[in-house]
Amino acid sequence: MIGVGTAINVVAVLAGAGLGTLVGGRLSEGMRETAMHAIGLVTILVGIQSFLRFDNPLVPLVSVILGLVTGELLRIDDALKRFGDALERRFSKGGSPVSRAFVTTSLLFCVGPLTVLGSLEDGISGDYHLLALKSALDFVASLSFASVLGWGVLL
């Protein structure tokens, strides 16, 4: 069924952010840091697993090189930074922590390879396994961010 992965991801982010908002400052800095390290490790492992699926290692190598060159030529990273800064200026009147939480986590949850590839797979074939994985990672991230930034992560 198409769209299941998206629904799972929305629920995971809202549940994590809700729990993080309730937990608040009781979640230690060490716990938040460990959670972020775990997210990074899982992301690396997923990348390695995806890489190992290829019979010819030149395919992902060339893909990465083409992606890097294209990203640099189009200045995608700069554009995303400008977009994030523009959103922050637009919505953060007086440095509101709510708007900062919204902008930071919107960019985190809505831009990235798992988001793009998972959404494409879910929309085209109904295969939501990447979005299910992303949902687990986003649950942990939203819990961690909401414990620091507050309820703005829920937006």
Please tell me the total count of domains within the chain.
1
Say if 30 falls within a structural domain: no
Is pLDDT above 90 for 53?
A: no
Cβ neighbours around 45 below 10 Å, total: 10
Q: Is 146 within the bounds of a domain?
A: yes
Residue 114 domain-assigned (yes or no): yes
The confidence score (pLDDT) of residue 108 equals 84
Backbone phi, then psi, for 77, in 5-degree steps?
-60, -45
In this prediction, residue 97 has a pLDDT band, given cuts at 50, 70 and 90, of confident
Task: List phi, psi (to 5°) of 25.
Answer: -70, -5
pLDDT at 69 over 90: yes
- The residue among 109, 128, 122, 153 whose CA lies nearest residue 15 is 153
Band (95; pLDDT cuts 50, 70, 90): low
What is the biggest distance separating any 2 CA atoms in the chain, rounded to whole angstroms? 54
Report pLDDT for 133: 92
Q: Which domain holds residue 9?
A: 4-19+76-154
- Confirm whether 96 is domain-assigned: yes
Task: State pTM to two decimals.
Answer: 0.76
**34 is a domain residue:** no
Average pLDDT over all residues of the chain: 86
C-alpha distances in Å from residue 154, one per residue of 24, 86, 101: 13, 20, 9
Closest to 17 measured CA to CA, from 110, 154, 125, 128? 154
Q: Give a yes or no: residue 38 inside a domain.
A: no
97: in domain: yes
Give the mean pLDDT of 139-150.
88
Is residue 42 situated within a structural domain? Answer: no
